[in-house]
Structure 1
Amino acid sequence: MEKVVVVHYGEIATKGKNREFFERKLLNNIRRATGVKVRRKYGRIEVEYSNGVVEKLRKIPGIRYFGVGLKTSLEMDEVKKAAFEVLPDSFDSFRVDTSRSNKNFPLNSVEINREVGGYLVEKTGKKVDLKNPDVTVWIEICDKEAYVYSERVEGIGGLPVGSAGKVVALISGGIDSPVAAYMMMKRGCEIVMAHFFNQTMHSPKVREKIKLLAEKLAEYQGEVKLYMVPFKDIQMEIIKSTPPKLRMIVYRRSMMRMSNLIAEKEGCKAVVTGDSLSQVASQTLENLNVVYSASKLAVLPPLIGMDKEEIVSLARKIGTYEISIMPYEDCCSFMIAKHPETKARLEEVVKYENFSELERGAVEKSEIVNVKVF
């Protein structure tokens, strides 16, 4: 018997002729994250067990769940012994749950459950409870081996990072935008982060905060490239020429254009925002239409239908919340009206925009930070 982790995926199994592409992406991501031996089996991935591997697998998009247990031969005596070995030290009831992809195996799933369950009752004196057991022993009967485990860990789900292309994710430093970036990684996108800052107000602490967010998001992707884009000169130009009610919209349109320039450099196919519909003044349907029209690329707002409580809950789950609530100065809130425009019209906004050279220069002056976790 050998201690292993058996990884299962969900959506990948529906990909038909493209399934192998997604499986190999996930296989490579697991190998890169864990540094251990990884083997592709049909419908599952076998991962060599080592210290720390469980925590790493929890953060890899594309994994639906995984079991930590033992690999055995297809001999029933070995399967029974493995089932006993994977039981926890303390429990009062159990059940056995078998799946059998090897249809040539002489026993069916119900028969295996009954035989292994009887063996465990005899060995432990514990009772079988099919509805609400303290512990479940899962058995997977495959073509050449069986996997047996009682420790099952839920994964992120979704698709492997890199299977859906690259995107630029706008990161403000607040709660929403890192969650949006995470959501796109879960959909198979590799993210490039872009943060826009005003040097007159951007303290070293805020700069460090953005890098901490990049490090946290890199735990799900392996490594992240972060563009720290200086926004001061553009912002001063906007303030000089634009009415306070429209400045937020013009700020964000400028960021869209610069995000497109970053996308061009990095081979990205879309821009990701942390917008949630009507959460703040700039996120009304009218304003979002005006802001998004500045982008030549598709704009993806994965949080658009979520409320703040849902977003905060997810931020806590992925580990970005405590970083996001650290104090920071948002350049978008600098020198705007107390009651900004909520129903902007494109023809009214574009007449204040004439700083494409400044935008291109800002992107060229960006500080580029490469954050690598694995």
Structure 2
Amino acid sequence: DSPVAGYMMAKRGIRVSAIHFVSPPYTSDRARLKVEQLCEKMTDYCGDMHFYCVPFTEIQEQLKRRCPEEFFTILMRRMMMLIAQEIAKKEEALALITGESVGQVASQTIQAMVCTDAVCKCPVFRPCIGMDKTEIIEIARKIDTFDISIQPYEDCCTVFTPRHPKIRPQLDAIEAAQEKGHFEEMIERAVAGTECKTFRVGQ
């Protein structure tokens, strides 16, 4: 979904960078390689692009230790947004882009998105918001990212997946759960440990 979202924005003239979160040993190098292959493909549409790889293990393990299981996914996405905002500042980027569409998974209800966006100080664009999976797949096939995207490697969104995720969370409950995690220094370490790679057209 993310490549499709990036493509949708790029075709309107927006310069796009990519952010990927890794959680070794729970995620593999092959998952990162898959995303790098997608970045190579996306240069056909986006031009040269930066790829940021964020170490996320410490934060996910803290989520598991300190936060209610039903909130894992939403809290994880809030952490991602906070980190992405810091990277965006360094990039002088004006907004974040995600591949979410309403109701596709538990974390993509309107209520969940409101809770996620509450940590954001910049706009969050979701160009796939009104599409269903079939429409997204159709575009992925068109831009030749589908076959790469379906490679079955675990990413950090599959780590510690809650059995019964909260689909209509209340923001005050989410914020209270986040406070218990004391994530501030972990977010700083994740940003400091982020690696950047540039993919260029034709390479």
Shorter-normalised TM range:
over 0.9
Alignment of 1:182-201 (within 5 A): 182-201=7-26
Matched with 1:259 is 84
Shift of 1:275: 0.5
Q: Deviations over 1:40-60 (max 9, x none)?
A: xxxxxxxxxxxxxxxxxxxxx
Structure 1 contact 245–336 (Cα < 8 Å) conserved: no
Matched with 1:318 is 143
| Structure holding more strand per residue | 1
Cα distance between partner residues in 2 of 1:189 and 1:231: 27
Cα distance between partner residues in 2 of 1:209 and 1:318: 16
Matched with 2:153 is 328
Report SS of the residue matched to 1:191: coil
The code of the aligned residue for 2:9 comes to: M
2:29 to 195, 204, 219: 204
Cα distance between partner residues in 1 of 2:118 and 2:139: 29
Matched with 2:74 is 249
Matched with 1:215 is 40
Shift of 1:333: 2.5
Unaligned runs of 5+ in 2: none
1:306 to 131, 151, 163: 131
Matched with 2:55 is 230
Report SS of the residue matched to 1:369: strand
Structure 1 contact 191–224 (Cα < 8 Å) conserved: yes
Cα distance between partner residues in 1 of 2:163 and 2:26: 19
Shift of 1:360: 1.7
What percentage of aligned pairs have identical amino acids?
40
| Structure holding more helix per residue | 2
Cα distance between partner residues in 1 of 2:47 and 2:30: 24
Structure 2 contact 7–46 (Cα < 8 Å) conserved: no
Cα distance between partner residues in 2 of 1:244 and 1:324: 28
Cα distance between partner residues in 2 of 1:235 and 1:284: 22
1:344 to 169, 183, 198: 169
The code of the aligned residue for 2:124 comes to: V
Greater C-alpha Rg: 1
The code of the aligned residue for 1:235 comes to: Q
The code of the aligned residue for 1:364 comes to: A
2:104 is aligned with 1:279: yes
Q: Deviations over 1:87-136 (max 9, x none)?
A: xxxxxxxxxxxxxxxxxxxxxxxxxxxxxxxxxxxxxxxxxxxxxxxxxx
Answer 1 or 2: higher relative contact order, Cα 8 Å, separation at least 6. 2
TM-score computed with the length of structure 1 as normaliser: 0.52
Cα distance between partner residues in 2 of 1:365 and 1:371: 20
TM-score computed with the length of structure 2 as normaliser: 0.95
Cα distance between partner residues in 1 of 2:158 and 2:113: 17
2:183 is aligned with 1:358: no
Q: How many residues are aligned here? A: 199
Report SS of the residue matched to 1:282: helix
Q: Deviations over 1:237-290 (max 9, x none)?
A: 111111110000000000000010001000000000111000110000100100
The code of the aligned residue for 1:367 comes to: E
Cα distance between partner residues in 1 of 2:130 and 2:55: 31
Cα distance between partner residues in 1 of 2:26 and 2:60: 12
Superposition misfits of 4+ residues, deviation over 4 angstroms: none
Structure 1 contact 248–333 (Cα < 8 Å) conserved: no
Shift of 1:330: 2.4
Unaligned runs of 5+ in 1: 1-175
Shift of 1:202: 2.1
Cα distance between partner residues in 2 of 1:222 and 1:278: 31
Cα distance between partner residues in 2 of 1:182 and 1:356: 32
